[in-house]
Structure 1
Amino acid sequence: MYSNSPLLVFSGQSNTRLASAICANLGIPLGRSETLKFSNDNLMVRYKESLREGDVFIVQSLSAPVSDSIMELLLMIDAAKSASAGRVTAVIPYYSYARSDKKDEARISIGGRLVADLIEAAGADRVLTMTLHSPQVHGFFKIPVDHLSAEVVIANHLITHVDGVEEGVVLAPDAGDIKRASALARRLNCNLAFIDKRRVSDTRVEARSLIGDVAGRKVFIVDDEISTAGSLVQAVNIAKESGAGEVYVATTHGVYVGPALERINSLDVVEVASCNTVDVSDEKRQECPKLSVLDVAPLFAETIHRIHTGESVSVLFD
């Protein structure tokens, strides 16, 4: 039980806006720390306040530059343990290496497991994350993991911003997303459809057909992550070819790299909403007006409070 220990939240450099918003919801100041980068590309982390016996939460999304983000997180965990923190929780809103969850080619590393091992070796006592691309990555950790879902945040956004959601259809971009899409469809009280895909090469997957009825209906495409938006283009196009009306897109992690913004600008969609698990810069939002950002800071703040006080986290999924 750590409720009698001071609650301390610190942030790496990858997502300071989310960390500040979490602290605002908790009613505490963001902890003071600094990260220096030397001319030889080495990083050094320094805490600027006492951590002794504190219940420390370190917020760091594994977003670009990913290797720097991982190394900074490891250094922050190690420095906190060296500073006699009572417990250290790595708050990783976006765990990018969750895509590397299996050995599906010869002579490759399972990166998701390796990063989990590094976080444990650095001294983390538990992990708090959101919407892992592959849920089995949860099992790569030998320490407690609280795995949050953005489902309720996305559902509330659609319910409050779109008229007649119950007459729409939630569309899963592929069969692997059906479970996530089905959970959202239940919250919206609407129908479900999915896109059947086939792999045509080692690097390319092609949409074959849409299973379900979207003709004349509002369609809500839901995914865990948008990176280059290649899969999104296929999903929107096949939905439109099947007679869909307005199309809305919602994802947990808006990574938006490479040609993503250009592709989204050219799509016939009302909006592409992502959570602030990855920091979407003001420049990106100006370049692509269809982007909107959903705030998951209250959910992370409530979870951190419950972990700190020893209360149940599972009730947040009800």
Structure 2
Amino acid sequence: MDAKYEDESLKFFSLNGNLPLAKKIAQVFGSKLGKCKIKSFSDGEISINIEESVRGVDTFIIQATNRPVNDYYMELLIMIDAMKRASAKTINVVLPYYAYARQDRTANPHEPITAKLIANLIVEAGATRVLTLDLHTVQVQGFFDIPVDNLFTMPLFAQYYRAQEMVGDDYVVVSPKNSGVQRARSLAEYLDTTIAIVDQGEFEEDEGYVIGDVRNKNCILVDDILNSGQTLVKASELLKANGAKKVDACASHALLSDNAKERLEQSAIVDICVTDSCLTEESRHPENITYITSAKLLGEAVKRIHENTPMSPLFNKVDKGFL
């Protein structure tokens, strides 16, 4: 797929959310990004102009919705509407990170289900398909009335750790919270390890405890969203207190909010592996972070969508040659 992809019936467009990743995905096809102009007026209104024909074309709009989340969602909705009015054949939205996915239920009285609201907006704007990476909960797919392909990052992390021979009985994959057990089990299957769980309790002051044997083991914490870093840092402290020899970590989406850099650098975590699904300033990157790209995985999914070939190999224990 690294050779030039001679197919004028497919075009990539990127908004401002994650331009470097969008370029990598296009390069997988030997293609360039389509031309469009995005500008903001003095009052904050967003204006978008597509500067080439998309009539009868399968279009793929690449937009991560990291900070500033709401601006990037507005860019996406306006771009979808522009594609629809320009007579694009299909409007495929590539969302490497789906913001608001954590608001997927009414946890307290009178709360909105914002993940559903965002899904409604994307569908009503005119999108025909969504391709995303590691939704916070897979059930969010059901909020859409169009096809949704939710790819998983565990094969990417497995390839990273297997290349370093971080496999077998000396290692334990650890979920830093009860809700992440399935994610930990998936990575453990790739690495032939056991799993453990950190129960951190409901409140920040709860001490928490470790379920499973981590004494004299090398632990790999696995999570989907790395925001403030508090969850991983507290989990790493509990693992060390329970006799863990070394602690590494991985997370699908590195939002790296304020103070995350200092918190992670001062933690017991040796290496934090994340994907490039979110774009953050280098000044917010902790020294112990390692980025791996999701471009080939997303590019392979785009190819299969465009050519109407099965997506199922991407959800199984796939041949990692294209990763």
Q: TM-score category by the smaller chain?
A: over 0.9
Q: Given that residues 200 and 235 in structure 2 are in contact (C-alpha distance below 8 angstroms), is that contact kept between their aligned partners in structure 1?
A: no
**Secondary structure of 1:273 counterpart:** strand
Length, aligned pairs only = 311
Q: How far is the alpha carbon of 1:64 from its aligned partner? A: 0.5
Residue number in structure 2 paired with 1:231: 231
Residue number in structure 2 paired with 1:262: 262
Residue number in structure 2 paired with 1:188: 191
Q: Given that residues 94 and 131 in structure 2 are in contact (C-alpha distance below 8 angstroms), is that contact kept between their aligned partners in structure 1?
A: yes
Alignment of 1:17 with 2:20, yes or no, is: yes
**Secondary structure of 1:283 counterpart:** helix
Residue number in structure 2 paired with 1:302: 300
Q: Which amino acid aligns with 2:287?
A: P
Residue number in structure 1 paired with 2:67: 64
Residue number in structure 2 paired with 1:292: 290
Alignment of 1:221 with 2:226, yes or no, is: no
Alignment of 1:127 with 2:135, yes or no, is: no
Structure number with greater CO (CA < 8 Å, separation at least 6) is 1
Q: Given that residues 271 and 291 in structure 1 are in contact (C-alpha distance below 8 angstroms), is that contact kept between their aligned partners in structure 2?
A: yes
Q: Which amino acid aligns with 2:225?
A: E
Q: How far is the alpha carbon of 1:86 from its aligned partner? A: 0.2
Q: 1:211 to 1:147 in 2, by over 3 A?
A: same
Residue number in structure 2 paired with 1:172: 175
Q: How far is the alpha carbon of 1:128 from its aligned partner? A: 0.3
Q: Given that residues 216 and 245 in structure 1 are in contact (C-alpha distance below 8 angstroms), is that contact kept between their aligned partners in structure 2?
A: yes
Q: Given that residues 91 and 129 in structure 2 are in contact (C-alpha distance below 8 angstroms), is that contact kept between their aligned partners in structure 1?
A: yes
Residue number in structure 2 paired with 1:33: 36
Using the alignment, how far apart are the partners of 1:146 and 1:34 within structure 2? 28
Alignment of 1:138 with 2:141, yes or no, is: yes
Q: 1:197 to 1:267 in 2, by over 3 A?
A: closer
Q: How far is the alpha carbon of 1:173 from its aligned partner? A: 0.7
Residue number in structure 1 paired with 2:45: 42
Residue number in structure 1 paired with 2:3: none
Which residue of the other structure, out of 84, 87, 91, is the alignment partner of 2:90?
A: 87
Q: Given that residues 184 and 222 in structure 2 are in contact (C-alpha distance below 8 angstroms), is that contact kept between their aligned partners in structure 1?
A: yes
Residue number in structure 2 paired with 1:243: 243
Using the alignment, how far apart are the partners of 2:7 and 2:32 within structure 1? 18
Q: Given that residues 131 and 252 in structure 1 are in contact (C-alpha distance below 8 angstroms), is that contact kept between their aligned partners in structure 2?
A: yes
Residue number in structure 2 paired with 1:281: 281
Q: String of CA shifts for 1:156-199, please: whole Å, max 9, x gaps.
A: 11111354555200000112101110010000001110012321
Q: Which amino acid aligns with 2:144?
A: F
Q: Given that residues 159 and 165 in structure 1 are in contact (C-alpha distance below 8 angstroms), is that contact kept between their aligned partners in structure 2?
A: no
**Secondary structure of 2:73 counterpart:** helix
Q: String of CA shifts for 1:176-223, please: whole Å, max 9, x gaps.
A: 1011100100000011100123213xxx47352101111111100000
Question: TM-score w.r.t. structure 2 length?
Answer: 0.93
Q: How far is the alpha carbon of 1:138 from its aligned partner? A: 0.8
Q: String of CA shifts for 1:65-102, please: whole Å, max 9, x gaps.
A: 00000000001100001100000011101001100000
Ranges of 4+ aligned residues in structure 1 off by more than 3 Å: 162-166, 204-207
Residue number in structure 2 paired with 1:76: 79
**Secondary structure of 1:58 counterpart:** strand
Q: 1:163 to 1:232 in 2, by over 3 A?
A: closer
Q: Identify unmatched segments of 5+ residues in structure 1.
A: none
* CA root-mean-square deviation: 1.5
Using the alignment, how far apart are the partners of 1:120 and 1:195 within structure 2? 38
Percent identity, aligned pairs only? 34
Using the alignment, how far apart are the partners of 1:138 and 1:113 within structure 2? 9
Using the alignment, how far apart are the partners of 1:236 and 1:94 within structure 2? 25
Using the alignment, how far apart are the partners of 2:124 and 2:8 within structure 1? 24
Q: How far is the alpha carbon of 1:273 from its aligned partner? A: 1.2
Q: 1:166 to 1:295 in 2, by over 3 A?
A: farther
Using the alignment, how far apart are the partners of 1:27 and 1:18 within structure 2? 14
Q: Given that residues 166 and 188 in structure 1 are in contact (C-alpha distance below 8 angstroms), is that contact kept between their aligned partners in structure 2?
A: no
Q: String of CA shifts for 1:7-61, please: whole Å, max 9, x gaps.
A: 1110110100000000011111111111100001000111111101000000001
Q: 1:112 to 1:207 in 2, by over 3 A?
A: farther
Q: Identify unmatched segments of 5+ residues in structure 2.
A: 1-5, 317-323
Residue number in structure 2 paired with 1:113: 116
**Secondary structure of 1:292 counterpart:** strand
